[in-house]
């Protein structure tokens, strides 16, 4: 059960875009060099964030990505869901119904599988915690030096 690296990349990109402000579009190559990750692969995840309406993309010579909404409106759950997909990590395949021990007794299986309920409870707690934090919270928690450095580094690259 390993989460994709794209989640970490996507969150860092969102934080960087929040630092740089709403009016600057940053292309994939610039973000990739900022974190030293494969540009074309990073692009894949940025596309997923655009599809989820977290980022907005613009084409052309001064194009790139920017946040599609205010940082307070982007939860960590939004980013994770956009990249990892909406399904829960645990998926009940109803093995209790298969197998030799079952003799067609539908009433017993009217109520959902207790194991699935228990795992779903943990998954809900996980999502609740993720939904409680936004990109704006990341901005507040991070040291101001990071934002300053990112701006100073980006400035000469913007034209």
The binder of a copy of itself chosen from 72, 129, 155, 158 (CB under 8 A): 129
CB of 69 to a copy of itself, least distance (A): 19
Residue 41 near residue 15, CB atoms below 8 Å: no
Residue 134 CA to residue 140 CA, distance in Å, equals 10
# residues near a copy of itself by CB under 8 A: 62
Question: Strand, coil or helix: what is 69?
Answer: coil
Tell me if 50 contacts DNA by CB under 7 A: yes
Q: What is the DSSP letter of 73?
A: G
Structure-token pair, residue 121 = 């409870």
- Which of a copy of itself, DNA, none does 82 bind, CB closer than 5 to 8 A by kind? none
What residues line the site for DNA (CB under 7 A)?
Answer: 1-2, 4-6, 27-29, 37-38, 40-41, 43-44, 46-47, 50-51, 57-65, 159
């Amino acid at each position: 059960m390993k989460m994709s690296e794209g989640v970490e990349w996507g969150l860092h990109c969102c934080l960087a875009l929040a630092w740089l402000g709403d009016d600057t579009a940053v292309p994939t190559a610039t973000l990739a060099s900022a974190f030293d990750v494969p540009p074309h692969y990073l692009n894949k995840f940025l596309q997923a964030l655009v599809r989820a309406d977290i980022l907005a993309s613009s084409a052309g010579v001064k194009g790139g990505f920017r946040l599609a909404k205010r940082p307070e409106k982007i939860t960590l759950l939004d980013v994770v869901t956009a990249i990892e997909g909406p399904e829960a990590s645990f998926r009940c395949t109803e093995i209790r119904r298969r197998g030799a021990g079952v003799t067609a007794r539908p009433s017993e299986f009217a109520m959902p599988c207790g194991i699935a309920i228990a795992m779903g409870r943990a998954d809900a707690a996980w999502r609740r915690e993720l939904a409680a934090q936004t990109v704006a919270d990341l901005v507040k928690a991070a040291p101001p030096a990071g934002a300053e450095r990112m701006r100073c580094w980006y400035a000469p690259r913007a034209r």
